[in-house]
Amino acid sequence: MRGNLVLGNLIRPAKANSKYFPDRRNKAPPRQFIFFTGLPAGGILAAMTQLAERLRGKFIVLDGPDGSGKSTQATRLADFLSGQGCQVLCLRDPGDTQLGEGIRQVLLQGSARISPMAETLLFMASRAQLVQEKIRPALLAGKTVICDRFVSSTLAYQGASGVDRLIILDLAEAAVGGIWPDLTVILDVPAKLGLDRTGQRNQLLMRKKAAPGPTLFGDRFEARSLEYHEAVRRIFRELVKEYPHPAAVVDGSQPAEQVTEQIIELLQRTFER
């Protein structure tokens, strides 16, 4: 487990004596406080205006298990920030480039079995193109980039399929060229609830056996066993302590409006300086 300092649910990377792992002897005790307690009366409008300015050139990722509501929240957040004067670019990973959309179709709907390592490399190829073609130019132009999934998803899904997380991080470092999210928000939901939301749980219950072996999301990944999705959720929750860049967890099982409010308050507290 990497040494990160806990700030409520926000995780900031701690100084390490190796590429990803710290000296545990020097690990500071975690400091915690409660996010999402509400803003002072009368200060909301001013805070929102300031938030729009602070988010110029920032890269925000929304991630989480299938059915966590991340795509809905990415759209809601983009709409909100646009209304506050932010120039927002909303993306999905993989996708949103010609190469990325082609890779997405292979991963989502391809009938051929793809090994977990091959999946990982395909994701990284799509991600490299997305960073080069869309993310980097937008950030340099001062836009706020909101991305539906990123490296955190590969760590969770391919990690649950057996790919070593340090290998994934090494590949990601090469793929993203130093462009990492300023904040990754993990929307946490129980695996059963997420599968219920996507309509996949009934299909799993009807099967006598799970699909043989590790077989994104949608058709390819949602079709895997409940145990696999529980492992994915567990890794997502662990990432807030292991991810080498700031990450936070928000309860995605709440009503969508409440989740959006908590994400906005999280952004305020994260970028208050």
Q: How far apart are CA 9 and CA 39, in angstroms?
A: 17
**236 compared with 206, residue with greater pLDDT:** 236
pLDDT over threshold 80, residue 244: yes
Among 29-33, 53-57, 150-154, 195-199, the range scoring the smallest mean pLDDT is 29-33
Q: What is the pLDDT of residues 39-68, one digit of tens each?
A: 444 455 666 778 889 999 999 999 999 899
Q: What is the pLDDT of residues 187-205, one digit of tens each?
A: 999 989 988 887 764 554 5
Q: Are 179 and 59 in contact (CB under 8 A)?
A: yes
Quick one: which of 228, 212, 215, 211 has its CA closest to 113? 215
Which pTM was predicted?
Answer: 0.78
Domains and CATH numbers, the chain: 4-12+51-270 (3.40.50.300)
Q: Cβ contacts of residue 9 below 8 Å, gap of 6+?
A: 35, 240, 248, 249, 250, 266
Please give the mean pLDDT across all residues of the chain. Answer: 80
Q: What is the pLDDT of residues 203-224, one digit of tens each?
A: 545 443 444 443 354 445 555 6
